[in-house]
C-alpha cells in the first residue's frame, strides 16, 4: 500500500492550512460562542465558491460506470480523507457548513440515472453561488435502526406523495435539494425504502427547525416535515427498476461505506487539534517536565497515528475498487473513541481553564463526541464487525 501524498493534494492541504488558520478556526469559535450556525449568506461561503470549492466530484460524464470511475479518480478517496482530516483540524463544524452537495452526493452518484446526475449535480459543477445538498435518513423514531423509518411514499399518477418527519439533516434548510429516504410499505422493512430528491420550495416541505447541539455549532442540523409533499416520479433516485430485488437499502449502505472513513478521518483531525492544544497548554504551564503528562500526550499521538492508518487503509481499498465494509466500520469504531480520549486528556491538562467554558480544549471536547454518533454509532460499527466475524450478513434485514 502506497500512502504517499501526491503534489496536488499537498498543495490543497497547504491551502486549507492557510484558510484554516486565518478563517475556519476563528469562524468556528465565533459560531460556538454565538450558539448558531454560520448563516448561508456569509461572505465566507461566496469566497469558497470563488476559490473553486463547493463543487461536485461528478465529472459530468453521462455514463454511470464511467462516471463512477471518474469520481474515484478525481476524488481519490484517500486524498479526500487527507483534506477532510485537515479541515476538521481547523473546525469540523465549519467544514460541514461548506457549500457543496454534501452527504447527498454519494446516493445521487451511486444510484442516480445520468439524467438525475445532470439535474441535481450539474449545478454543482461550476456553481454560480453557494449551493448545498442534504441527506435525510434519520427520524425522531429511527436513528441507528434505519429500517424503522416511517416517512411514507405513496404513488399518485406521475408523482409520489411523501408524509413524515426528518431530523438532524445537515444543511437541510439552506439546501437546493434533500435526498429523503421514505418507505412505500413499512411491512417490507428495508425492501420498502426509496430515496427521493426533494427540491427546495416543493409544497409540503417545511417546518425547518435548527436543532440545538452540544458542539459543531457552525453548521445546521435541521429537522423538517413532509406534509402531502408531491415529488415528481422523475425524482425517485435510480427509478423504480433500481429498487427491484430489495436494492433500496443497499444504496444507503453504499453511501455509508463511502462516508464512514471520511467521518473517521475528521475525528482524527479533531483529535490532532486537541493534542496540539494540550501540548500548547502544557508547555505554557511548564508541565512538559512531568513524565505523566508527556506519557499521556505521547499515548494520544500514537493512537491517533494508528487510527489514521486504519482510515487510509479503508480509503485505499475504496480507491482500488475493493470491498471495504469491515475496514470502514473499523476506522469509524476506533478513530472517534481515540479522539475523544485525547480531547478528554486535553480538558484535564488544561484544568480549571477548561472548566470555564471559553477554552479551545473545552470546545473540542464538545465537538468530538458527535463523531461517535454520526454515520452509525461506535456500537453499531462493532455490531457490523461482529456479524461479519461469524459470517452473518451485515444487518438482520439484509439476508
Ligand atoms: C451532529 C449530528 C449530525 C447528524 N447528521 C445527520 C444527517 O446529516 N442526516 C441524517 O439522516 N442523520 C444525521 N444524524 C443522525 C445520526 O445518524 C443518528 O443520531 C444516529 O444514527 C444515531 O441515532 P439516534 O441518535 O436515534 O440514536 P439511537 O439509534 O436511538 O441509539 C441510542 C444509543 O443506543 C445504541 N444502540 C442502538 N441500537 C443498538 C443495538 N442494536 N445494539 C446496541 N446498541 C444500540 C446506540 O449506539 C446509541 O448509543 C446526525 C446526528 C448528529 C448527532
CA of 228 to the centre of ligand 1 (A): 27
pLDDT-derived band of residue 76, with 50, 70 and 90 as boundaries?
confident
Q: Sign (positive/negative) of CA torsion 255, 258, 261, 262?
A: negative
The reported pLDDT for the residue numbered 320 is 86
Q: What is the pLDDT confidence band of residue 319, given thresholds at 50, 70 and 90?
A: confident
For the CA atoms of 160, 63, 312, 310, the dihedral, rounded to the nearest 10 degrees, stands at 50
**61: pLDDT strictly greater than 90:** no
Taking the C-alpha atoms of residue 191 and residue 251, their distance in angstroms, rounded to an integer, is 11
pLDDT of residue 11 exceeding 70, the answer is yes
Q: Distance between CA atoms of 178 and 195, rounded to whole angstroms? A: 10
Q: Which atom of ligand 1 is nearest to the CA of 138?
A: 11
- 70, 59 contact by CB (below 8 A): yes
Average the pLDDT over each of 34-48, 287-301, 311-325 and give the range with the smallest value.
311-325
Is residue 165 annotated as a catalytic residue, yes or no? no
**CA-CA distance, 305 to 319, in Å (whole number)?**
21
The confidence score (pLDDT) of residue 71 equals 44
Tell which residue, 376, 381, 375, has the closest CA to residue 170. Answer: 375
For residue 245, the model assigns a pLDDT of 56
Q: Tell me how far the alpha carbon of residue 343 lies from the centroid of ligand 1, in angstroms.
A: 21
Task: For a ligand 1 pocket test, name from 100, 104, 143, 397 the mutation site with the most ligand atoms within 8 angstroms of its C-beta.
Answer: 143
Partners of 154 in the β-ladder:
161
What pLDDT was estimated at residue 62? Answer: 55
User: Hey, is 165 helix, strand or coil?
Assistant: strand
pLDDT tens digits for range 180-197: 999 999 998 888 999 999
Q: Which of 65-74, 320-329, 340-349, 355-364 has the lowest mean pLDDT?
A: 65-74
Between the CA of 375 and the centroid of ligand 1 the distance, in Å, is 8
Q: What percent of the chain has pLDDT over 90?
A: 79
Which residues does ligand 1 sit against, CB inside 6 Å? 103, 135-138, 143-144, 168-170, 213, 216, 221, 370, 373-374, 377, 379-380, 383
Report the phi/psi class of residue 232: left, alpha or beta, with left for phi > 0 and alpha for psi in -120 to 50: beta
Looking at residue 247, its pLDDT comes to 53
- Indicate the range of 67-76, 116-125, 297-306 predicted with least confidence: 67-76
pLDDT at residue 3, as a whole number: 87
CA 374 to centroid of ligand 1, rounded, Å: 6
Strand pairing of 159-170 and 152-156? antiparallel
DSSP output for 222-248? EEEEEEEEEEEGGGBTTHHHHTGGG-H
How far is the C-alpha of 197 from the C-alpha of 180, rounded, in Å? 6
Alpha helices of the chain — where are they, by DSSP H? 7-19, 25-34, 43-50, 64-75, 77-97, 105-111, 114-121, 239-242, 248-284, 291-319, 325-350, 352-355, 360-373, 378-389
List, in sequence order, every residue forming a beta bridge with 179; answer none if it has no partner.
135, 197
- Nearest residue (by CA) to ligand 1, atom 48, is 377
Closest Cα to residue 244, out of 180, 191, 196, 182? 191
Please choose, from the candidates 79, 80, 72, 127, the residue with its C-alpha nearest in 3D space to the C-alpha of residue 99. 127
pLDDT at 399: 34
Confidence of residue 330 (pLDDT cuts 50, 70, 90): very high
Task: Pick the range with the lowest mean pLDDT from 70-74, 98-102, 357-361.
Answer: 70-74
* pLDDT band with cut points at 50, 70 and 90 for residue 70: very low
pLDDT in tens, 19-31: 999 999 999 999 9
Name the average pLDDT for the chain.
91
pLDDT in tens, 208-227: 999 999 999 999 999 999 99
Which of 148, 177, 336, 374 is the best mutation target for the ligand 1 pocket, counting ligand atoms within 8 Å of the beta carbon and taking the most? 374
- The mean pLDDT of 288-295, rounded to a whole number, is 95
Across residues 101-108, what is the average pLDDT? 93
Residue closest to 298 by CA, chosen among 369, 349, 336, 262 = 349
Digit-coded pLDDT (tens) for 228-256: 999 999 999 999 888 875 555 555 555 55
Atom of ligand 1 nearest to the CA of 375: 17
Task: Look up residue 172 and give its three cell numbers.
Answer: 437541510
Ligand 1 centroid vs 29 CA: distance in angstroms?
Answer: 26
pLDDT at 10: 95
Q: At what angle do helices 248-284 and 77-97 cross, to 10 degrees?
A: 70
Supply the pLDDT for residue 34.
96
Amino acid at each position: 500500500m502506497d500512502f504517499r501524498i501526491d503534489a496536488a493534494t499537498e498543495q490543497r492541504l497547504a491551502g486549507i492550512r492557510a484558510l484554516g488558520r486565518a478563517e475556519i478556526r476563528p469562524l468556528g469559535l465565533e459560531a460556538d460562542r454565538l450558539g448558531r450556525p454560520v448563516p448561508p449568506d456569509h461572505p465566507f461561503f461566496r469566497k469558497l465558491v470563488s476559490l473553486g470549492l463547493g463543487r461536485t466530484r461528478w465529472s459530468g460524464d453521462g455514463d454511470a460506470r464511467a462516471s463512477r470511475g471518474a469520481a474515484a479518480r478525481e476524488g481519490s478517496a484517500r486524498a479526500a480523507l487527507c483534506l477532510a482530516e485537515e479541515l476538521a483540524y481547523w473546525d469540523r463544524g465549519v467544514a460541514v457548513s461548506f457549500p457543496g452537495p454534501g452527504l447527498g452526493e454519494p446516493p445521487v452518484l451511486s444510484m442516480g440515472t445520468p439524467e438525475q446526475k445532470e439535474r441535481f449535480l450539474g449545478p454543482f459543477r461550476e456553481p454560480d453561488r453557494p449551493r448545498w445538498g442534504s441527506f435525510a435518513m434519520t427520524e425522531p423514531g429511527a436513528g441507528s435502526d434505519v429500517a424503522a423509518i416511517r416517512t411514507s411514499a405513496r404513488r399518485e399518477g406521475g408523482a409520489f406523495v411523501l408524509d413524515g418527519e426528518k431530523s438532524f439533516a445537515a444543511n437541510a434548510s439552506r439546501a437546493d435539494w434533500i435526498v429523503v429516504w421514505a418507505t412505500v410499505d413499512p411491512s417490507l422493512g428495508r425492501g420498502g425504502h426509496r430515496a427521493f430528491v426533494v427540491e427546495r420550495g416543493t409544497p409540503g416541505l417545511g417546518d425547518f427547525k435548527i436543532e440545538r447541539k452540544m458542539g459543531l455549532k457552525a453548521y445546521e442540523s435541521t429537522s423538517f416535515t413532509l406534509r402531502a409533499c408531491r415529488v415528481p416520479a422523475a425524482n425517485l433516485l435510480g427509478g423504480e427498476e433500481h429498487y427491484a430485488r430489495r436494492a433500496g437499502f443497499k444504496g444507503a449502505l453504499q453511501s455509508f461505506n463511502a462516508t464512514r472513513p471520511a467521518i473517521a478521518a475528521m475525528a482524527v483531525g479533531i483529535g490532532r487539534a486537541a493534542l496540539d492544544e494540550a501540548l500548547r497548554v502544557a508547555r505554557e504551564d511548564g508541565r512538559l517536565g512531568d513524565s505523566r503528562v508527556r506519557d499521556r500526550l505521547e499515548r494520544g499521538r500514537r493512537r491517533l497515528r494508528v487510527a489514521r492508518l486504519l482510515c487510509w487503509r479503508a480509503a485505499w481499498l475504496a480507491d482500488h475498487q475493493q470491498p471495504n465494509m469491515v475496514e470502514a466500520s473499523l476506522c469509524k469504531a476506533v478513530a472517534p473513541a481515540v479522539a475523544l480520549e485525547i480531547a478528554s486528556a486535553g480538558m484535564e491538562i488544561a484544568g480549571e481553564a477548561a472548566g470555564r467554558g471559553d477554552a479551545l480544549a473545552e470546545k473540542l471536547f464538545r465537538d468530538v463526541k458527535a463523531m461517535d454518533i454520526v454515520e452509525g454509532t461506535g456500537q453499531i460499527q462493532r455490531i457490523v464487525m461482529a456479524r461479519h466475524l461469524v459470517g452473518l450478513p451485515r444487518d438482520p434485514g439484509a439476508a
